[in-house]
Every structure is written in structure tokens, then in C-alpha cells.
Amino acid sequence: MDDGYGAGDIGSVADRLRAAKFVAVLTGAGISAESGVPTFRDAQSGLWARFDPRELATPAAFAGHPKRVWDWYAERRALAARVVPNAAHLALVAIERRVPRFALITQNVDGLHARAGSRALIELHGNIARVRCSGCGRPADRWEEAAATGADVLPPRCIHCGAFLRPDVVWFEEPLPQDALAAAEDAARQCDLLLVVGTSAEVYPAAALPRQAQAAGACVVEINPQDTPLRAYADFWLRGRAGEVLPALARAAWP
Ligand code: BV8
Ligand code: ZN
């Protein structure tokens, strides 16, 4: 295991990137950090400082405190709409356009990969911009936000069945969309190079993908300023921020 990002590593990875037939990428919150979107492990700020995201992103939290969970997502939805893709998102678009086959698997719900122009995109955990009914499942493209005064302490309701609306994301203990997970596992099994960018690699089943890729013969490259469980088996670790490493990697592969 090479220890950390060095010029040598990036050159070797660039050679593999240039020669790859099928490049897959798995991203987590770290790739959006440089756009100003807090990662899951960043300390929550403001109203949410006292809550652990893993507690809020659950069906139990929504059942117990629907308005708190609805408001947390409303705030994150507004932030996602305000920020823009960063150099890392854009470097992945450039790579997608250069390689024969490409798949971008993201755990992020912020929609920044799509806004950057990524095409072959698999959103494993949904998308915070989408809202659906917690009862009948119908999508909702508009709703009445409750009065800011907090007088109405409930989330908006579905106009069809009256159940609460909820963000169209996958909470903990909820199953991932079958088609997205199947497509991600296919890509992991078929790719010859997997870049794992900005994830703590602890949440399953997404965190199982790098192992699946390597078992099927892919070269696995971690891009992260910190080490993660991947360090035990990744072929390379490009140590650094995605906004620096990914553009440098694309430049090194296609000068
Ligand atoms: C499932 C959407 C099965 C919501 C997310 C009991 C019952 C069922 C399942 C379980 C159970 N107990 C445990 C499980 C499994 C559970 C799990 O894995 N838990 C963990 C805690 C162990 N998984 C699930 O529950 C999944 N569902 O298994 O269902 C099932 C099957 C059939 C029927 C019923 C059930 C669902 C998991 C999905 C949860 N939803 N997000 C929302 O966003 O609000 S998860 C969320 O956290 C993210 O999407 C991501 O997946 C995960 C981790 O976040 P990361 O993206 O990795 O970000 P993090 O902050 O952790 O790390 C950031 C990284 O970036 C760091 O490494 C940092 O160093 C790095 N970084 C920082 N800056 C930069 C950078 N890197 C590069 N550049 C930088 N500048
Ligand atoms: Zn409904």
C-alpha cells in the first residue's frame, strides 16, 4: 500500500486512467465539501448542532419529530440549491468524456454531479431536491411550507392522500433503490479502475462496492485527505482534497 499522495502515485494512476476501458467512480460527501456542503461527519451547525445526522436521517426520527426532520432537509435543500459544483465535480465530467466507458456512483443527495454535467450518474441514496409522499409515494413538485412562525408544527401534506411529504432520499434502515444498487454493482464488477472519492466508506451497501470491484479485478484508488477502512486494501491512496487531486489526475492523464 503506497503511503499517501505523491507525484509518483499520481503518475501511475494517470497511466491506468488513460489505459482504462471502463472507469467507475464512487463519491461521498467529501467531493462536495469544497462547494461548501458540510459532510456527514462535519459537526452540524446552528439549529442542528445537537443532533447526529445518523439520528436524523432515519424513519424513526421522521415518525417521532416529522417537522424537525422536514426542516433539516429543507435547510439542506436550500443550501444545495445555493452552492455550485467545484473543480472535483468538473474533473469527473472531463474524465467521463475521455474514457470508453464510465459510471459515476454517488452516495450524495445534493445533485451537484448532475449540475456539473455528469451523464452516467447513479444516485444510490436519492436526491434532496425531490420530495415524495410518505404515504402513497407520489412525487410532490410543490407544497406549502409551513408558516415560518412555527405555528404549524407539521410538515406539508400530500394533496392526494394527506400523509406527510418527505425528502426523496434513502434513510438509514431503508432499502436502496433496487435499480440503482444493481447498476452500481454491475459497474463495480465490470470496471477496470475504480476511483473512490470523499467517502468515509462506512455506510453499506455502498461501502461494499470497492471490495466487489477489486475482487473482480479492478484497480482501486482512494482520493481522500484522511485515511479510511479502504486504506487496508486500496491499490493507491492519493492523499489530498478532491478539488486538487482530481484535476491534477485528469491533467496528468491527458496533458
Ligand atoms: C440498508 C442519504 C437494508 C440521506 C444516507 C439495521 C437495519 C438495516 C440496515 C442497517 C442496520 N444497521 C446498520 C445497517 C446498515 C446501514 C449502515 O451501513 N450503517 C452504518 C452506520 C454502519 N445502512 C443502511 O441502513 C442502508 N440501508 O442497509 O437497508 C434493508 C434492506 C431491505 C429492507 C430494509 C432494509 C441505507 C444507508 C443510506 C443512508 N442514507 N444518505 C441523507 O443524506 O440525509 S448515508 C450518508 O452517510 C451518505 O449518503 C453516505 O452514504 C454516508 C457516509 O457519508 P460520506 O458520504 O462518506 O461522508 P462522511 O461525512 O461520512 O465522510 C466524508 C469523507 O470525505 C471523509 O472521509 C473525509 O475525510 C472526506 N473529505 C472531507 N473533505 C474532503 C474529503 N475528501 C475529498 N476532498 C475533500 N475536500
Ligand atoms: Zn400521498
The pLDDT tens digits for 17-58 are: 999 999 999 999 999 999 999 998 887 777 777 888 989 999
Domain co-membership, 239 together with 144: no
Structure confidence by residue, pLDDT tens digits, 79-91? 999 999 999 999 9
Domain co-membership, 209 together with 245: yes
Q: What pLDDT is stored for residue 1 in this prediction? A: 38
113 vs 25: CA distance, rounded Å: 12
Q: Between 9 and 48, whose confidence is greater?
A: 9
Structure confidence by residue, pLDDT tens digits, 196-208? 999 999 999 999 9
- Strands ordered across the beta sheet of 101-106: 121-123, 101-106, 22-27, 193-197, 219-223, 236-238
Domain co-membership, 71 together with 197: no
pLDDT at 106 over 70: yes
CATH number, position 206: 3.40.50.1220
114 vs 128: CA distance, rounded Å: 13
Looking at the CA of 136, name the nearest ligand: 2
22 in Cβ contact with 100 (< 8 Å): yes
Q: What pLDDT is stored for residue 202 in this prediction? A: 95
Domain co-membership, 198 together with 101: yes
* Alpha carbon distances (Å) from 239 to 13, 96, 168: 13, 22, 33
Bridge-based pairing state of the strands 219-223 and 193-197: parallel
Using a 6 Å cutoff on CB, does residue 203 contact ligand 1? yes
Query: Relative to the CA of 34, which ligand 1 atom is closest?
Result: 80
Domain co-membership, 235 together with 180: yes
Residue 250 class from Cβ within 10 Å (0-12 exposed, 13-18 middle, 19+ buried)? Answer: buried
Q: What pLDDT is stored for residue 209 in this prediction? A: 98
Structure confidence by residue, pLDDT tens digits, 212-254? 999 999 999 999 999 999 999 999 999 999 999 999 999 999 9
pLDDT at 186 over 90: yes
Domain co-membership, 73 together with 161: yes
180 in Cβ contact with 123 (< 8 Å): yes
Structure confidence by residue, pLDDT tens digits, 171-182? 999 999 999 999
Alpha-carbon dihedral sign for residues 127, 128, 134, 137:
negative
163 in Cβ contact with 133 (< 8 Å): yes
Q: 169, 201, 231: which is the final residue of a domain?
A: 169
Domain co-membership, 90 together with 71: no
- The pTM (predicted TM-score) of the whole model is 0.95
Q: What pLDDT is stored for residue 49 in this prediction? A: 78
Nearest CA to ligand 1 atom 80: 241
**Residue 6 pLDDT grade (very low, low, confident, very high; cuts 50, 70, 90):** low
Active site residue 65: no
140 in Cβ contact with 165 (< 8 Å): yes
Domain co-membership, 206 together with 237: yes
Which residue in 65, 113, 125, 160 is the catalytic one? 125
Nearest CA to ligand 1 atom 38: 172
Domain co-membership, 76 together with 182: no
Domain co-membership, 3 together with 109: yes
Structural domain harbouring 55: 38-82+128-169
Three-state secondary structure call for residue 78: helix
> Which residue type does 89 have?
H
Using a 6 Å cutoff on CB, does residue 35 contact ligand 1? no
Q: 105, 140, 169: which is the final residue of a domain?
A: 169
63 in Cβ contact with 71 (< 8 Å): no
Using a 6 Å cutoff on CB, does residue 48 contact ligand 1? no
Q: What pLDDT is stored for residue 150 in this prediction? A: 55
Q: 148, 169, 190: which is the final residue of a domain?
A: 169
pLDDT at 2 over 50: no
CATH number, position 45: 3.30.1600.10
Domain co-membership, 163 together with 193: no
For the chain, the domain total comes to: 2
Domain co-membership, 77 together with 149: yes
182 vs 57: CA distance, rounded Å: 23
